[in-house]
Amino acid sequence: MIRVRNLWKRFGPNMVMQGLDVDIESGETLVILGRSGVGKSVLLRHILGIDKAEKGTVEVDGVMISELKGNALFNATKNMGMLFQSAALFDSMNLETNTAFFLREHGNLETGKRFTKGEMKDLVDHALEMVGLEGQQKKMPSDLSGGMRKRAGLARLIVYRPQYLLYDEPTTGLDPITAMQINELIVKTQEELNATSIVVTHDPVSALYVGDRLALVEDGKIAYIETPEKFMEIEHETIQALKNIVMQDPRSFRSRKSGGPT
């Protein structure tokens, strides 16, 4: 379980988080929504311990991540993984080597031993199969489409089977069909690993598809957090705008803009 309490973070003159509190239950998928620049991705970086707040705490399974550095931080967060918005693949490595990177660097987290070449190959092949990239081991990142890069990044994330999965805008820049494939993979991965997932997104369709609960970040805090059904009924400008995107015929927006009938 993740507990964030009274988190404050400033970048220059901008106070991004202002006393943010949130609990993320074990085994759930929490979706973080909100306008650009409100600190959604910053929250993920604090949970991973990459960023440190001016004030407040981040606790994961009883360990205060916000107070740790170096090896202590690594040991506390080794069961976490993040899919970055750009997928962050190593351009000089093929897909097989990219996927095996964590395994090669850190070995088996449970036993502390190195993996054999055969063990590593089996784990990589399984991860690539999970994301629909079987047989693509020798391809370079430059040979992959945007959707394939996202799936490759997901394979590199899940190959060591972390218990906490963090996704930063996983469907940004993808066409609707590919975006839905990524959404399906997020759900499939969460179920197979029995993991806890946090998804930052601007896409209300993705949010409703993958989320067990949805949270709206506003004014540096979690303004609302509810199940999808209850969340979409909240009378709030941003939430109602998201609801319109999902439920309303887009031609009606065009009609209003042109002054035609609605």
Model confidence at 245, in pLDDT bands (50, 70, 90)?
confident
pLDDT digits (tens, 9 = 90+) for 48-66: 999 999 999 999 999 999 9
- Cβ-contact 21, 40 below 8 angstroms: no
Give Cα separations from 8 to 53, 60, 219, 225 (angstroms). 6, 18, 11, 19
Whole-prediction pTM: 0.88
Structure confidence by residue, pLDDT tens digits, 83-102: 988 888 999 999 999 999 99
Would you say domain 2-249 falls under CATH 1.10.1510.10?
A: no
DSSP helix/strand/coil, 199 = strand
Torsion of CA 93, 97, 98, 103, to 10 degrees: -150
Cα gap 203→141, rounded to integer Å: 25
pLDDT band of residue 112 (cuts 50, 70, 90) is confident
Q: Are 136 and 95 in contact, with CB atoms under 8 Å apart?
A: yes
pLDDT band at 262 (very low <50, low <70, confident <90, very high): very low
* Residue spans per domain, the chain: 2-249
Give the C-alpha separation, 85 to 167, whole Å. Answer: 8
